[in-house]
Amino acid sequence: FVIYSLDGTSAIELEDNSWHIRPLNEFFLFSNDDQRRPLIQPKYIGQSTVRGIPVDQWETCIINRGNLQTFRRTWSFGRKDFVTPLGPIRDLAFPVQAIINSSIMLTNGMRVAQFDEVFNVYSYRPGIIESPEQLAPPKGVFCRYDSGQTLVSLQDAGFTWPDRFSVRVDASSSRETRWHRFHLRYDRGRNGGSKRIRYDYLPNNGEDFESIIHDYGNDLTYIIDRRTGTCKINRGVQYPDVNPTRDPISFFIQNEAKFFDSGNKIWEVNGIRACRGNSIKCSSLVSSIDNFPVIIEPDTGKPTGETWDATNVEYGWSARSIVAQAAAGGDRSFDYPVYLYLKLYRLDDPNNPSTTNIRTEDVEYEFYEMSHELTSNDFDTSICYRSGDLEYLHLGFILKIDQDNIVDGNHLNRRFLEMDVHFNLADKMGIRFSRITDIDIFHENASKDVNVFFTLLGPTPNPESPTLVSENEITAAVARDNLRKAIDGGVFQFSMRLTDNSTTFIQFRALNGSLKDSKQFMSSHAVGDVGTKESYSSGAQAGAVIGGILVGLVAGILIAAVIRIVRKEPMPNIPILPSSFTNPLPNINFYNKKPPTDAKATSDAKATSDAKATSDA
200, 209 contact by CB (below 8 A)? yes
Is it the case that residue 150 has pLDDT exceeding 90?
no
Q: For the segment 569-590, what is each residue's pLDDT rounded down to a tens digit?
A: 776 665 555 555 555 545 545 4
Tell me the whole-structure pTM to 2 decimals: 0.68
**The dihedral formed by the CA atoms of 598, 603, 604 and 609, expressed in degrees to the nearest 10:** 130
Q: Express each pLDDT in 468-505 by its tens digit.
A: 999 999 999 999 999 999 999 999 999 988 887 677 78
Q: What is the mean pLDDT of the chain?
A: 82
Instruction: Annotate 87-113 with DSSP letters as a single string.
Output: EE--SS--EEEEEEEEEEE-TTS-EEE
CB-based contact 307:328 (threshold 8 Å): no
Q: What SS3 string covers 463-484?
A: CCCCCCECCCCCCHHHHHHHHH
The pLDDT of residue 602 is 47
Average pLDDT over residues 322-331: 52
How sure is the predictor about 180, in pLDDT bands with cuts at 50, 70 and 90?
very high
Q: Any idea which of 119-123, 303-307, 370-374, 544-548 has the lowest mean pLDDT?
A: 544-548
Q: Is the dihedral of CA 469, 470, 471, 476 positive or negative?
A: negative
Among 53-57, 195-199, 259-263, 426-430, where is mean pLDDT lowest? 259-263
Closest CA to 158 of 273, 368, 327: 327
Which one has a higher pLDDT value, 582 or 218?
218
Residue 312 sits at φ, ψ, to 5 deg, of -85, 130
Q: How high is the pLDDT of residue 6?
A: 58
Torsion sign over Cα 238, 242, 245, 250: negative
What are 285's strand-pairing partners?
269, 315
Contact 55, 80 (CB under 8 A): no
- Give yes or no for residue 612 having a pLDDT over 50: no
pLDDT at 89 over 50: yes
Say if residue 513's pLDDT is above 90: yes
Torsion 237-242-247-253 (CA) sign: positive
